[in-house]
Amino acid sequence: MSARGWFMVVLATALSLLAGCSTAPKGMDYTAFIAARPASIVVLPPLNESPDVNATPSVLAQSTAPLAESGYYVVPVGVMMEAFRQNGLTEPHDIHEVSRSKLRQIFGADAALYITVTDYGTQYTVFDSVARVSARAVLVDLRSGQTLWSGSATAHNNEGRNNSNQGLLGAVIGAVVRQVINAVTDAAHPVAGITANRLLHAGRQDGILWGPRAPLYGQDTPAPLR
């Protein structure tokens, strides 16, 4: 066999081995979600793994809107917090420990959303500061205890910024201005709204399915995973 022939054989063998070792990525498994089809959700106060005490109230306040816009009835935050307060529960960790059956009994919701804020606040560097918020969430059926969906999202206030045409002086001045603004305001709060929307609004890749109050309800049902 010629050298070219041997080369083609080796190449074909290598490609076949690579194809055999690789697996096609699988998307979210919506089997349980489709079977349960929750209509109402109670959003629990998020756990906070960041050093900023504003993380829990900020993310909680902006997490109900994307769910409501996606077609779900969401238990009002004030009602939820007052119910827990009257039962002596004020800390997110303690609230997350409440049994599924008790949550179902108190709020009558089909599902509960458990959120954990993994990053919240402003990170300072020599020439810039970036407000970043990251969170993950798990949706649990309060009737069966099954996990229906889980996901994560992140956002920061430097997205889409292009300093290439500002020059060094312009970039430094802009960075100083941003540092001042971020230092005197809760710059992460509006970023938390973007994160919550990315995490909890239906119609996104591997996101929550449309709820029964949405015009697109049932039209986003994915094919079952094999």
- For residue 82, being part of any structural domain is answered with yes
Q: What distance in Å separates the CA atoms of residue 137 and residue 154, rounded to the nearest whole number?
A: 12
Helix (H, G, I), strand (E, B), or coil: what is residue 186? coil
Question: Which pair of tokens denotes residue 121?
Answer: 């606040």
Is 8 contained in some domain?
no
- Give the Cα separation of 63 and 194 in Å (integer): 10
Q: What is the pLDDT of residue 153?
A: 97
pLDDT by position in tens, the chain (length 226): 555 444 444 444 444 444 444 333 457 899 999 999 999 999 999 999 999 999 999 999 999 999 999 999 999 999 999 999 999 999 999 999 999 999 999 999 999 999 999 999 987 765 567 899 999 999 999 999 999 999 999 999 887 655 555 555 444 555 555 555 545 456 899 999 999 999 999 999 999 999 999 999 988 766 554 4
DSSP lists the bridge partners of residue 156 as: 132
User: 100: which residues sit within 8 A by CB, 6+ positions away?
Assistant: 112, 140, 142, 145
Domains contained in the chain, number: 1
Judge residue 135's burial from the number of C-beta atoms within 10 Å of its C-beta, 0-12 exposed, 13-18 middle, 19 or more buried.
buried
Strand ranges for the chain from DSSP E: 40-43, 47-48, 73-74, 111-124, 129-141, 147-156
Residue 173: which CATH number? 3.40.50.10610
Quick one: pLDDT at residue 85?
A: 96
Could you tell me if residue 222 is inside a domain?
Answer: no
Range of the domain at 175: 27-200
Look at residue 128 in the predicted model and tell me its pLDDT: 66
Pair 197, 190: CB distance under 8 Å: no
Residue type at position 145: G
